Amino acid sequence: EALAQFWDTLGERLIAPHLDTLSLMRLSEAATTLRVVVLRQIPKKWLIALEVTPLLRSSAAMRARSLCINNSDSRTPVADVHLLHKNLLSGLPQQLVNRASECTELTLDFEALTQFQKTCSHSSLLTGDPWEHVVLKLILDAGLLDRSLRAVRHVLQHVQVLKILNMPYLALLRKTIQDVDEYEEPLSFPVLRQLAGLRQLRVLALESARPHPDSIMVLSIGALKTLTDDVLPLLPLEELSISTVVVEPSHGARSSERPGMDLGPFLKLRHLKRLRLAAVRCCSESQLMMAKGPTVLDLRETCQLEHLDISFLADPGGSPGGVTVLGADTPASPSLRTLAMRNLGNSPSELRPQLGRYLSACQKLQHVLLSGLHLQVDFLEQVVQSLTTDEALSGARSSQWSLEWIQFSAPSNRETQLLNQAAAAFAQHGAQFQARVGVPMPADLRMTSETAASLEQQPTAGLSTFGEGMDWFLGGVVPAPLSVDQ
């Protein structure tokens, strides 16, 4: 009874936020005194955390040991393990299903699986042999996610927020689907056909675990076109996050030729307020078959967009790309507040000066974050010039303006000099400028998992006890010092 009183007073604030919805239901079933209280506080936001089952562990171990037996070279093998073909919502308690009409937000979180994959990769945990290391690659079958979202459509009919987080590797290609409704086409794109039916969706997040070949979403050209042209425009989306995606090249092309997503179609979603995309190609779609040019940041149709966060996929050919705006007379965005552009390419002129003038004219813009290999010299000089000459920016707005630059490697002497000059100019006008060396450059998403595993392989990968001397060999007993007679 005392525990029930505590839960009634503080449980919803102290305990419930740290439990997924199924654990919350199990707690109510385990304690009779808590049942009434917990059921009364079932949140409208459901969190379904996917677990690492014993069957998944055994499947991963069997696959890893099989690869090691047949592995004839020194490269670290990649163990592909598919998640079980089971509806992710099939284990919901009936008491929770009865309250499904009250649910407005659903989160499917694969974080536990992601941590399991990270722990088992480049280690001998699955093989049991310190000389045999493997990389674990979990694969989320599109049919599994399609069946789960179909259940969401039928059970959670009023869901407005859908977040699928920390996803393992997922490929969305056109395929023949067996269990289709009466008016559905049997040959279609799984997952996408279900998203189109969630007509009340305001927030959609499809996020992979990390920007790495083992954890990306691969979309065919047709799937991406269906997503941007036929699915997303039907939804009243205010917030959209899709990461990390690469586009499957045409038949016969190499994986190294995988492009990123085209930014243009996403900027035509009129109701968006927040947009996060990774990875975006560094040239627009219309320029792919011709001489490559810059990506155009055209915000005229997304007049409500407040936050834009895009991460680029480096151009495999190293040809000029970049980011610019339509023209000198392009009207500034009336609502843009924050802009982040990450993983800028190999050129110090990736961001055109014209973009700097455009951003300076955005009245509500407060923070710009940039990261890449090289300092964007022309862009930075243009922003500094705007601070000096633009009365509107150098006046009342300057104290609200901040620019953050993250470089993947230490800047050169020339770049350091430019950074110091920019910091002084920003400080003179009351604005903020920060520059720092960040994490190393992200992995090349065009690599295969096998290539990535080979590059990440440690020199001592075959000996997990490296560096421990002879103690490990003698069972933890420190060997006695040698005598003169010996």
Is 60 exceeded by the pLDDT of residue 132? yes
CA-to-CA separations, 335 to 155, 241, 295, 363, 441, in angstroms, rounded? 36, 19, 21, 8, 31
Is 50 exceeded by the pLDDT of residue 267? yes
The single-letter code of the amino acid at 90 is S
| DSSP element (H, E) containing 108 | strand 105-109
Could you report how far apart the first and last alpha carbons of the chain are, in Å?
A: 73
Query: Coil, strand or helix: which one is 182?
Result: coil
How many Å apart are CA 196 and CA 228, to the nearest integer? 11
Q: How confident is the model at residue 377 (pLDDT cuts 50, 70, 90)?
A: confident
Is 80 exceeded by the pLDDT of residue 368? yes
How many Å apart are CA 426 and CA 452, to the nearest integer? 41
Q: What are phi and psi of 129, to 5 degrees?
A: -120, 115
In this predicted structure, which of 171-180, 299-308, 464-473 has the lowest mean pLDDT? 464-473
- Mean pLDDT value across residues 133-153: 92
Q: What's 312-347 look like in SS3?
A: EECCCCCCCCCEECCCCCCCCCCCCCEEEEEEECCC
Cis amide linkage into residue 209, ω under 30° from 0: no
Structure confidence at residue 289 (pLDDT): 44
Q: What angle do CA 234, 239, 245 make, to 5 degrees?
A: 85
Is-contact 169 112, C-beta < 8 A? no
In this predicted structure, which of 2-6, 14-18, 284-288, 389-393 has the lowest mean pLDDT? 284-288
113: nearest Cα among 50, 19, 58, 202: 50
* 433, β-bridge pairs: 403
- Mean pLDDT value across residues 187-209: 90
Is 70 exceeded by the pLDDT of residue 283? no
pTM, rounded to two decimals: 0.85
Please list, in sequence order, all residues whose beta carbon lies within 8 angstroms of the beta carbon of residue 358, skipping any fewer than 6 positions away. Answer: 297, 325, 330, 332
Q: How confident is the model at residue 100 (pLDDT cuts 50, 70, 90)?
A: confident
Q: What are phi and psi of 279, to 5 degrees?
A: -110, 145
Structure confidence at residue 3 (pLDDT): 65
Q: To which residue do tokens 């090249």 refer?
A: 249
